[in-house]
Structures are given as structure tokens and as C-alpha cells.
Structure 1
Amino acid sequence: MPAWAHRSLALATTAAALLFSHAGPGVAQTSDLVSKSAFRVCADPANAPMSAKDGSGFENKLAELFAAKLELPLQYEWYPMATGFIRNSLGANKCDVVIGYAQGHELVLNTNHYMTSAFTLVVPAHSDLASVTDLSDPRLKEVDIGIIAGSPPATHMARNGLLKNAKAYNLVVDRRFESPTIDLLNDVHNGTTGAAILWGPIAGPLVKSNYPDMVVIPLLKETLPPRLFFRITMGVRMGEKVWERKLNSLIRRHQDEINAILVEAGVPLVNDMGTEVMVVAQ
């Protein structure tokens, strides 16, 4: 799950963001802490399709792009995306940036956002549900729906009378040993559930690479809170304004290349207000 996910999500997602511990007192907050010899990235080694130790995640590709633009070698500090992630990586000065963080997360200083995405409905491509666009559609009451426990769409499911058919999957896990998102998608694939609701940057790439029989539908018509779209930034240490501005400049100048990486991965991109799917040329 994205780092951002973690308290909003809770994001409960990005919850998971809900669990990060605050950096301890006394941590320096100046640009002097940023390495000048490497682009040091804090990342989960088992958080595919976002980050992976083998470099296959789309956040890995973004890290490679930024390291190249900075003309610095890429260096990772690997740590599971769970309690203590920020304290033990960014806060401990073992790295200088988290590639994916929800805008407004209080544990980091956010750069400008480089993408906006939304929660999605994942259904079999040839089912009647493939034309569903919102959670009030009565057809959804006829099937079991998988959802990550505690994520924002759960409130919308409750509002629309869908929780009685919900199958919950764990929100905060060590992805090295457990993968609830894969379990959730596998259950749709094998018919255990009829649909799933999942954060788009997870659902889109996984469906594109492994589930050609399913479709991913961004949920852009839910107008009541909580919102289901999020602007994703890079997270740096509090006080690192010089570093933040440098990354902002790179995001602004290389947005087309960033978009190309995200689209190639299968990430569903939406406009900044979460009302329309963006069409990005490839």
C-alpha cells in the first residue's frame, strides 16, 4: 500500500498510513542532511506493483528517472511499509525521499503532487458489472465484494447497503509474507467474489500484468465523503525546503516522463479534482 495510505487510509488507507510512528525528537531538519553523493530512497522491498527489491515497481522506475536527472547513483533503504517506517528510514537519515506519499500526510513534508489517482472497482471483463460506474448501482447488491479493511470505500459501501456482502482483507501486513491485494484479486478471478474495490495504483498494474480477464473502473462519481481520489507526492523530511523545491522543479520539468512511466505500468490517472480519467498519450 502507498505510504500515503497509511493514515488517510485509515486510508485507511494509503493504511495503512495509519500506523506510522512519528520521528523522534531531536532529528535535524535541515537540507544539510540530504546526501550529495546518492539519490537515497526509502522503500518497501515487497510492495509490488509500487516498489520491489528487484526494481520492477513503478516507484522504482520513478526513482531511476529522478536519479538520472540528478546525475546521482540510486541507493535504497529498504523497510516494510508498516509501523515505524518513517521513523526508521527517513527520520533516521538513512534516506532522503519516499517516492509515493499522499498529499497532506503530517509525518513528512510533501512535494508538489506528480499524480492523482482513485480507488477503483475491479470486476470480470465479461460480466454484467463491467458497466457499473458507481457504488449505488443495484447490481452490486447481488455479489460479494472484496475490500481492504478500513479503507475509505468501506464508508461508501455502508452508505449503499453493500457491507453485508463484503469480504474484508487485512489492511496492514508485512508484504514479504502476506499479500491481501493478490488474494483479493485472485478471489474475483476464481469467482469467490464478484467484484473488488482497491486503490487504483495497485489494481491497475496488477490487473494489466496478471488478470487480462478483469477490468478496472475508477470510482469518480462518489460525491459524499470520504473522498476516493488522492494526489500523490514525494515525501521528504520536515524542514527540508531546499530539497523539496529541487524535487518540485524536477517534477514540473519531467511530468511527461513521469506520466509515461505510470501509464505504462497501468496506473489509472485522473484529473486533480478526481472527476475525470486522464487520457495520456503513449
Structure 2
Amino acid sequence: MLPQSRSRRRAGALLLTFIFGGFDGFAANAAPADRANADAREQAGVLRICAAKNQPPLSLEDGSGFENKIAVVLAEAMNRKAQFVWYERPAIYLVRDQLDKNACDVIVGLDSGDPRVATSKPYYRTGYVFVTRADRDLNIKSWSDQRLAKLGHIAVSFGSPGEVLLKDIGQYENNMAYLYSLVNFKSARNEYTQVDPAKMVGEVSSGGAELAVAFAPDVARYVKASVTPLRISLIDDDAVKRNGEKVPQRFDQSVGVRHDDTALLEQIDAALVLAKPKIDAILQVEGVPLVPISR
């Protein structure tokens, strides 16, 4: 089963790397970047950004995705023009199909330390959240909360930490038919099956689900826009499976480039410092809850 969103926040990171490229020994190394072309692009003042055409709310071809906006701010801080290289397929394929093939040079919004790429210094940190109706006053903040076992439908993304922990507390089977109904009963095994984050939030708003578990950037826009008052609560980073294995809930976010693009990465790190106030403003407007960067 493939993880839910790009390489990020995955219970199956190794499987993702095997399928979408990354570790030596598992996948072929990417072809070296064309240095002459890269130098020409720098001189022309262009920053080629890999982006999915239809990955709301992160990336949209009209530029309204908040990661598109961050990319523009980054390019401006580098004194370059943002040139989006749009891709039809979901963002999870961008590294393998676009970046590694030198179709573009930068991906915004990857987990820091993603093994498929070289990542910048983190520019924000956030995590998974519980989304509930405000009138329920549940205020659940941890997977150790015993009330989770007594709730009705819980919406999670396939391949996510939420799915892993829902199974661990013995509630996955009770929710299985409901979860597959969110994707018209399409099998999530051995293929990328995305649960629309707007639909997850809508399920909570309508009462179809008592709680949704999602990565904050995926749902913050829809929670903020909901006519029904909703509560978004960052999940405490204390989730542990019954076997003692920790399941991380919070992640630093970075910009990714090819491993050999060291000069570009240095420029990005410097530009992120300059762009930080504007990036923070974009995240604030989006409604993404933040926690201090870990490193």
C-alpha cells in the first residue's frame, strides 16, 4: 500500500523509495544534471519548479496552491522568476518522473531528509491533526485518548500514520467499509489512492465522520472555510504502537533538489532566510498550525 502524500509522513517510506526511486541498491541513480543548462538558467534568472497540476490545496495549475505561492516567494528571494513545470499526475510522482529526469530543478514541500533528494534547511514544521466539529467539544489531542475507541466513523488517509494507528487501536476494521466508500471502494493496495482532503473535512462537517486525521497543510484551508465551525488540533507527538514503535506525528518541511545540485541548494538555503516573513504570512493565511522547527 502506497503512502498518501509524496514521500511525506509515511508508514511505508522504504516501499515508497523502492517504487518511486531513491536509495542506492533499490533504484537506479538519477542521471547527472546538465550543468551547462543549469548555469544558463541561473544566468537567465529562472527557477524551474516541479509542481502537480491538481493537488489541492498544495498545488494547482492556476497558482492558487499555497506551495505554489511559497515557490514564487522563494524564487523572488533568489532574484529569479518562478517557472512552473506542471505535471498531470499526483505530486507523489514528481521526484521520479520530473526532478530525476531533469525536467525541473526544485520541489517545494518535502519532508526534511527525504532520501530521494537533497533537502534544504527546514522552513516550517507542522504535523498531523484531529479535525472535529466544534459543537462536539471533543478536544482530542493524542492517540492515547481512550475516547477514540468509542467514536463512530473516523476518516484517515490510506498509507498514513493515521491508518497505522487506527489499526493499532483496533478500530480499522470497524471503519474499513466507510473508508473505502470515500474512494468509491477503489482498492488502495499496490497503487496510489488518495482520499480527497476536502472530502474528509466535509465528512466531519456533515456528521458523516466524528473525526478526521490528516496532515495539517492538506486540510487547514478547508477547515478554515467550513460553514460548520470545526476544531483542528495538532496531535501530540507521543504516538506509540503497542509493540513500542514510535509513529511520528510532526515533520519539518523543506525544498528538495537533485543530490548533485549543491550550489542550487546553497542558494535556496540563503533565500529561505530572506523569504521567511512572506512564507510565514502565507502559512498564517492558509491556517496551518505551526510548531518550532526541530533543527
1:214 to 230, 233, 248: 230
Shift in Å, 1:112: 0.7
Shift in Å, 1:252: 2.0
**Residue deviations 1:131-164, cap 9 Å, x none?**
2221222322232101001101223333334324
**Counterpart Cα distance in 2 of 1:11 and 1:232:** 17
Shift in Å, 1:182: 2.3
Q: Larger helix proportion, structure 1 or 2?
A: 2
Shift in Å, 1:255: 1.8
% identity of equivalent residues: 24
**Counterpart Cα distance in 2 of 1:8 and 1:74:** 24
Contact 1:97 1:236 in 2 (8 A): yes
Over 3 Å counting, the alpha-carbon distance change for 1:17 and 1:44 in structure 2 is: farther
Over 3 Å counting, the alpha-carbon distance change for 1:113 and 1:33 in structure 2 is: farther
Segment drifting more, 256-265 vs 67-76: 67-76
1:50 to 44, 58, 68: 58
Matched, 1:261 2:282: yes
Contact 2:60 2:68 in 1 (8 A): yes
**Residue deviations 1:100-154, cap 9 Å, x none?**
111121111111111111000000111132x222122232223210100110122
**Counterpart Cα distance in 2 of 1:64 and 1:82:** 18
Query: Where does residue 214 of structure 2 map in the other structure?
Result: 198
SS of the residue 1:132 aligns to: coil
Matched, 1:6 2:15: no
Segment drifting more, 189-198 vs 3-12: 3-12
Contact 2:131 2:213 in 1 (8 A): yes
**Counterpart Cα distance in 1 of 2:144 and 2:32:** 49
**Counterpart Cα distance in 1 of 2:109 and 2:269:** 14
**Counterpart Cα distance in 2 of 1:109 and 1:7:** 13
Question: Which segments of 5 or more consecutive residues in structure 1 lack a partner in the other structure?
Answer: 275-282
Matched, 1:28 2:49: no
Contact 2:50 2:105 in 1 (8 A): yes
Which residues of 2 match residues 31-110 of structure 1 at below 5 A? Answer: 32-34=36-38, 35-36=41-42, 37=44, 38-79=46-87, 80-81=89-90, 84-110=93-119
**Counterpart Cα distance in 2 of 1:50 and 1:211:** 21
**Counterpart Cα distance in 2 of 1:155 and 1:4:** 12
Over 3 Å counting, the alpha-carbon distance change for 1:52 and 1:262 in structure 2 is: same
Q: What amino acid maps onto 1:182 in structure 2?
A: A
Over 3 Å counting, the alpha-carbon distance change for 1:97 and 1:111 in structure 2 is: same
Over 3 Å counting, the alpha-carbon distance change for 1:200 and 1:83 in structure 2 is: closer
Over 3 Å counting, the alpha-carbon distance change for 1:234 and 1:82 in structure 2 is: closer
**Residue deviations 1:233-255, cap 9 Å, x none?**
00001111111011001112332
Q: CA-atom RMSD, angstroms?
A: 2.9
**Residue deviations 1:73-114, cap 9 Å, x none?**
221111223564223211121211001111121111111111
Question: Which segments of 5 or more consecutive residues in structure 2 lack a partner in the other structure?
Answer: 241-245
Q: What amino acid maps onto 1:123 in structure 2?
A: T
Over 3 Å counting, the alpha-carbon distance change for 1:84 and 1:133 in structure 2 is: closer
Shift in Å, 1:8: 4.9
Shift in Å, 1:54: 0.8
Segment drifting more, 119-128 vs 216-225: 216-225
